[in-house]
Protein backbone atom coordinates (compact mmCIF):
# COMPACT_ATOMS: atom_id res chain seq x y z
CA UNK A 1 0.00 0.00 0.00
CA UNK A 2 1.40 3.39 -0.97
CA UNK A 3 0.93 5.81 1.91
CA UNK A 4 2.93 8.73 0.54
CA UNK A 5 4.29 9.79 -2.81
CA UNK A 6 6.49 12.59 -4.01
CA UNK A 7 10.12 13.43 -4.56
CA UNK A 8 12.53 11.30 -2.53
CA UNK A 9 14.17 14.34 -0.90
CA UNK A 10 10.79 15.75 0.12
CA UNK A 11 9.63 12.47 1.64
CA UNK A 12 12.92 11.82 3.46
CA UNK A 13 13.29 15.33 4.86
CA UNK A 14 9.69 16.14 5.74
CA UNK A 15 7.37 13.15 5.59
CA UNK A 16 3.70 14.00 6.04
CA UNK A 17 2.27 10.60 6.99
CA UNK A 18 2.74 9.14 10.50
CA UNK A 19 3.70 5.74 9.03
CA UNK A 20 6.47 7.28 6.91
CA UNK A 21 7.73 9.31 9.88
CA UNK A 22 7.98 6.19 12.05
CA UNK A 23 9.55 4.15 9.27
CA UNK A 24 12.26 6.74 8.69
CA UNK A 25 12.84 7.14 12.44
CA UNK A 26 13.59 3.40 12.66
CA UNK A 27 16.48 3.58 10.16
CA UNK A 28 19.87 3.57 11.92
CA UNK A 29 21.90 6.72 11.24
CA UNK A 30 25.58 6.66 10.38
CA UNK A 31 27.55 9.53 11.87
CA UNK A 32 31.22 10.07 11.58
Taking a C-beta distance cutoff of 8 angstroms, is the pair 16, 4 a contact? yes
- Percentage, residues of the chain above pLDDT 90: 78
The mean per-residue pLDDT over the stretch 23-31 comes to: 91
pLDDT at 32 over 70: no
Q: What is the pLDDT of residue 29?
A: 87
The mean per-residue pLDDT over the stretch 7-23 comes to: 95
Please give the angle made by the CA atoms of 10, 7 and 15, to the nearest 5 degrees. Answer: 35
Would you list the domain boundaries of the chain?
A: 1-32
Q: How many CB atoms lie within 10 A of CB 15?
A: 18
Q: What is the pLDDT of residue 9?
A: 96
Amino acid sequence: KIVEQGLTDDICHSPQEAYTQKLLAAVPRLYG
